[in-house]
């Protein structure tokens, strides 16, 4: 049993090293954060395996606490990068960004025409369907006290 735990710990250490390499070489901030989150997850696994190897089951509680901290830190850092101005712009051939996305990235942009036009309306999301409008009209009480129209 100890040999299996030792091999598992070595395998986790190797994957932690690979995660660190990805964190330092990642092409974007999101890839780096994903690698850092994976490193934190592997750390939780390493704590549990080490506790089992040493015969200290209380390490599971420590690992759970570390997992919660890892989650909160990951969310906080991702929120920080969400508003980072150095986010890569779309490359050529990428679909055009919606004007509202552009307005969120550049508050000084003149988007008065797109704001007046409102949100994009497609068949699935825009407005009520004709059946729904007819149903609403038929459920309204009559205006003239109950006389048929």
Provide the CA 42 distance to its chain's centre, in angstroms. 20
The rounded distance, in Å, linking the Cα atoms of 62 and 74 is: 18
Which band of pLDDT confidence, cut at 50, 70 and 90, is reported for residue 26? Answer: confident
Reply yes or no on whether the pLDDT at 86 is more than 80.
no
The CA–CA distances, whole Å, from 101 to 36, 42, 89, 127, 148 equal 28, 36, 12, 22, 50
Question: By percentage, how much of the chain surpasses pLDDT 70?
Answer: 54
Domain boundaries, the chain: 2-82
Residues 6+ apart with CB under 8 A from 117: none
Where is average pLDDT lowest: 35-44, 68-77, 92-101? 92-101
Closest CA to 49 of 9, 4, 15, 13: 9
Contact 99, 111 (CB under 8 A): yes
Cβ-contact 77, 47 below 8 angstroms? no
Place of tokens 């997850």: 41
**Angle at CA of residue 80, ends 20 and 70, nearest 5°:** 50
CB 59 within 8 A of CB 50: yes
Q: What is the pLDDT of residue 10?
A: 96
């Amino acid at each position: 049993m100890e040999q299996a735990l030792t091999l598992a710990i070595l395998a986790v250490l190797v994957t932690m090293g690979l995660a660190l390499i990805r964190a330092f070489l990642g092409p974007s901030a999101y890839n780096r954060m994903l690698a850092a989150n994976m490193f934190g997850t592997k750390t939780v696994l390493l704590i549990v395996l080490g506790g089992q190897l040493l015969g200290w089951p209380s390490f599971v509680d420590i690992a759970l606490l570390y997992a919660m901290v890892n989650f909160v830190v990951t969310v906080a850092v991702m929120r920080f990068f969400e508003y980072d101005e150095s986010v890569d712009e779309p490359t050529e051939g990428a679909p055009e960004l919606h004007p509202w996305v552009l307005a969120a990235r550049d508050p000084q942009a003149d988007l008065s025409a797109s704001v007046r036009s409102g949100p994009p309306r497609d068949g699935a999301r825009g407005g009520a369907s004709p059946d729904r409008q007819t149903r609403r009209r038929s459920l309204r009480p009559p205006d003239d006290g109950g006389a048929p129209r």
